[in-house]
């Protein structure tokens, strides 16, 4: 066998992955005949065929499948090396290119960018918001924030949020006033936003039998949350994405009931293995983990904190500055550092933020989240206490 023609390997990899010469030509930005020529040169130099021709289709034969595994690994390592070398050579003008889902960028990442700039003033962050699953090496990105279980071929992943992602019901303040003290079945008579499947699961968990017909379906959770803020309907969304809107009063949580959903998978930072120890990427990884930890602390307070009993005054007053609702059905005494079950006071729970409120919270003492649909049994028990 003569020397392997390295310039033909990218074409081989692309054709082998797509199994279509014309599609490969579009990806490589060359003509169909040029792709065919490169495959022919490769097979001539190898001395054996790597594809079977079936009319207009091409299919990898066993020898081609073995070669593809090695070529994918080798080209990925070369891409990683070039990207790491370019990143290192950039010196003080370092820039991180990251691709993220639009909903995550809008509802979680962008509100925290000021803290990124304060922590890393000399490291610029270029954010590309896209619904597409981008090929990092080919598109020149250093990392991506992805949602799923993984693994992602040719990439390392770092899981950012270990807890299950609760799905909660939120609505505008006007919807909260309209549903004050209502049963869960009342939500079925409201305008509902989003796919019917998670709504049906939520109603089933609430013990409500109903047929769900959403008034609008969105391909982006950020748009759906904005629609809920405008009182166009109720939304069933990830608690993490709604957290900031709940904290500043744009949205209100309408029930303590939450569900988990198969599609609500964890967030991961993914990147080429060659960039694992690149300092800017390490800075991004550490900052994201710190911010996720703050969000986790805000959404899921430590269960080991000493519980305190909510005073009866919570049932009568519209404000109780020393207490704040954090997470599902819990009340925190900021003066004593404890948290405990919140019975009927769920209807008037408050968030009393401090100067260093985590996770981008507005540090004030106004109502930030109200659980309107407290179970009747809890209300009656609290009334007798």
Domains of the chain: 6-84 (1.10.10.10), 91-164+265-298 (3.40.190.10), 167-253 (3.40.190.10), 302-385 (no CATH)
As given in the structure block, the two tokens for residue 37 are: 């020529």
- The overall average pLDDT reported for the chain is 75
pLDDT above 90: residue 28: no
The larger pLDDT score, comparing residue 115 to residue 262, is at 115
**Which whole number is the average pLDDT over 342-370?**
29
pLDDT above 70: residue 321: no
Indicate the pTM of the whole model.
0.56
CA distance 254 to 370: 7
**Which whole number is the average pLDDT over 303-309?**
39
Q: 32, 40, 33: which is closest to 12 by C-alpha?
A: 40
Q: Which residues is 253 bridged to in the sheet? A: 170
6, containing H or E segment: none
**Which whole number is the average pLDDT over 156-174?**
86
pLDDT above 80: residue 191: yes
As given in the structure block, the two tokens for residue 234 are: 């109720």
Give ∠ CA 312-318-323 in degrees, rounded to 5. Answer: 60
CB 225 within 8 A of CB 107: yes
- Band (pLDDT 50/70/90 cuts) for residue 224 is very high
Q: Which residues is 324 bridged to in the sheet? A: 332
Helix (H, G, I), strand (E, B) or coil at 350: coil
CA distance 383 to 385: 6
Instruction: Identify how many contiguous H helices and E strands the chain contains and give both numbers.
Output: 14, 14
pLDDT above 90: residue 269: yes
Whole-number percent of the chain with pLDDT over 70: 72
Helix %, strand %, coil % for the chain, to 5? Answer: 45, 15, 40
């Amino acid at each position: 066998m003569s020397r392997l023609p390295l310039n033909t390997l990218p074409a081989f990899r692309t054709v082998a992955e797509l199994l279509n010469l014309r599609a490969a030509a579009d990806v490589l930005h060359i003509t169909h005949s040029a792709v065919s020529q490169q495959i022919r040169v490769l097979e001539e130099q190898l001395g054996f065929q790597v594809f079977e021709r079936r009319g207009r289709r091409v299919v990898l034969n066993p020898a081609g499948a073995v070669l593809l595994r090695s070529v994918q690994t080798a080209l990925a390592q070369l891409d990683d090396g070039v990207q790491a070398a370019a990143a290192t050579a950039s010196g003080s003008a370092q820039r991180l290119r990251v691709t993220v889902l639009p909903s995550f960028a809008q509802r979680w990442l962008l509100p925290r960018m000021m803290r990124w700039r304060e922590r890393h003033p000399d490291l610029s962050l270029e954010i590309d918001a896209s619904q597409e699953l981008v090929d990092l090496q080919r598109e020149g990105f250093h990392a991506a924030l992805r949602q799923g279980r993984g693994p992602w071929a040719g990439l390392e992943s770092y899981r950012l949020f270990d807890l299950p992602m609760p799905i909660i019901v939120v609505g505008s303040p006007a919807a909260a006033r309209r549903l004050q003290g209502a049963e869960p079945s009342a939500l079925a008579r409201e305008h509902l936003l989003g796919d019917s499947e998670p709504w049906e699961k939520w109603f089933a968990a609430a013990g409500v039998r109903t047929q769900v017909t959403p008034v609008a379906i969105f391909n982006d959770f950020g748009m759906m949350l904005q629609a809920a803020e405008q009182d166009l309907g109720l939304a069933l969304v990830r608690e993490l994405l709604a957290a900031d809107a709940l904290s500043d009063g744009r949205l209100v949580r309408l029930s303590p009931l939450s569900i988990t959903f198969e599609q609500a998978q964890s967030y991961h930072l993914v990147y080429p293995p060659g960039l694992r120890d690149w300092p800017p990427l390490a800075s991004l990884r550490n900052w994201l983990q710190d911010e996720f930890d703050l969000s986790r602390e805000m959404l899921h307070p430590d269960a080991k904190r000493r519980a305190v009993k909510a005073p009866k005054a919570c049932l009568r007053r519209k404000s109780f500055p020393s207490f704040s609702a954090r997470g599902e059905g819990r009340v925190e005494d900021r003066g004593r550092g404890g948290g405990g079950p919140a019975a009927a006071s769920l209807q008037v729970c408050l968030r009393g933020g401090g100067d260093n409120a985590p996770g981008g919270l507005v540090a004030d003492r106004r109502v930030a989240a109200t659980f309107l649909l407290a179970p009747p049994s809890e209300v009656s028990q609290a009334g007798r206490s």
